[in-house]
Amino acid sequence: MNEDNFNMSIRTFLKMVGVRSQHEIEQAVSHAMASGVLKGNEKLPAKMTLTISETNLNVSFDGVISLE
């Protein structure tokens, strides 16, 4: 295994996940605000799951996204 390529591949994947996740969250919150589902002062529980089948990795990360 090439450690440098491995590390760079992980960083590239995480950057893509971060950027796309932020975009998806912003869109979902925007639509929920526009439709009146959210008022804009909520704290939203969030969960992210990372899975790599070949390694049996399945880990979840929990957090809160505050709108105010």
- pLDDT value for 4: 98
In degrees, to the nearest 5, what angle opens at C-alpha 40 toward C-alphas 37 and 44? 75
| pTM reported for the whole predicted model | 0.88
- pLDDT value for 6: 98
Q: Where are the domains of the chain?
A: 3-66
Contact 48, 61 (CB under 8 A): yes
Band of pLDDT at residue 9, cut at 50, 70 and 90: very high
